Structure 1
Amino acid sequence: MANHKSALKRIRRNEAVRLRNRYQHKTMRNALRKLRTQETKKDAEALFPSVVSMIDRLAKRNIIHSNKAANLKSKLAKHVAAL
């Protein structure tokens, strides 16, 4: 068990941050799935900016690695262009 008041607070805070990160990461994965299953190019192009924005936000906060974000955006752009 933690010996310091600050350590106890850190434990509580770490758990809250972990849950928020998990939620945001899962939301991003669902958005990717939704974009990849779009049938028409018009729908995909409408959804694309919001998904890219979400990916950028997660990379900025180090929830996902910046290289992974770049790879995801590149693949999505190619996918949307190919529709």
Structure 2
Amino acid sequence: MELQLTLPDDIALGLKIPPEKIKEEILKEIAFIFYAQGKASMGVARRISGLGKREFIDELGKRKIPRHYSEKDFEVDLKYAKSSQ
């Protein structure tokens, strides 16, 4: 699906973002909003944002957005932690 967004020049100029970074920043904001609202999984939100897993998790912390962490995720992490001892 392709989505096109048109910003009037005065709005684009009013943003405190370099013009070449506007698209990237809007996509990141959408990704974090959707993730925080439970509308996107971490994988989907990461793809929208263009960030890697570590970068995405770090940014969640900076934004104080709680990580959606299922029991299955916990079990996988626990198994990994036990195997690396």
The TM-score normalised by the length of structure 2 is: 0.37
Give the structure, 1 or 2, with the largest relative contact order (CA under 8 Å, sep 6 or more): 1
What TM-score do the two structures reach when normalised by structure 1? 0.38
Question: Which structure has more helix as a fraction of its residues?
Answer: 1
